[in-house]
Amino acid sequence: MKPAMPALPGPDGGEPVFREPWEAQAFAMTLALHRQGHFTWPEWADTLAAEIAAAQAGGDADLGDTYYRHWLAALERLMAAKGLTSAAELEDHRQAWARAAERTPHGRPIELRGDDFASP
């Protein structure tokens, strides 16, 4: 039996609060991958703690505004370590999103298309 995942309440004791939609998506993906058995919660906690420690050592002021950047970096690292993705696949997706963002007018939702994965 897997150990229970700790509760993660928001500031008022309710649901977690996210500043951006991508933060909620990264959070949800982490929970889904954990529930599917791809990693244990202690593995996740250790990976996230290592990302935060590395960021602090690199000068992150640890004001809370970069927390989900560390969360995402930890998720990417853990997924690569578990063979769920590769560094090359992650970079391909970063570049595709950058191309999609570049062509999207300000204020409009960014939509990823197949041709965003083509080399420039």
> For 23-69, how does the pLDDT look when each residue is reduced to its tens digit (9 = 90+)?
999 999 999 999 999 999 999 999 999 999 999 999 998 888 899 99
Q: Is residue 88 part of a domain?
A: yes
Q: Is residue 16 part of a domain?
A: no
Residues 92, 94, 99, 103: what is their CA dihedral angle, to the nearest 10 degrees? 150
Domain that holds residue 82: 21-33+45-58+66-105+112-117
Using pLDDT thresholds of 50, 70 and 90, give the confidence band for residue 8.
low
Using pLDDT thresholds of 50, 70 and 90, give the confidence band for residue 1.
very low
Q: How far is CA 29 from CA 10, 52, 118, in A?
A: 18, 19, 26
Per-residue model confidence as pLDDT tens digits over 64-89: 889 999 999 999 999 999 999 999 99
How many folded domains does the chain comprise? 1
What global pTM score does this model have? Answer: 0.77
Q: Is residue 14 part of a domain?
A: no
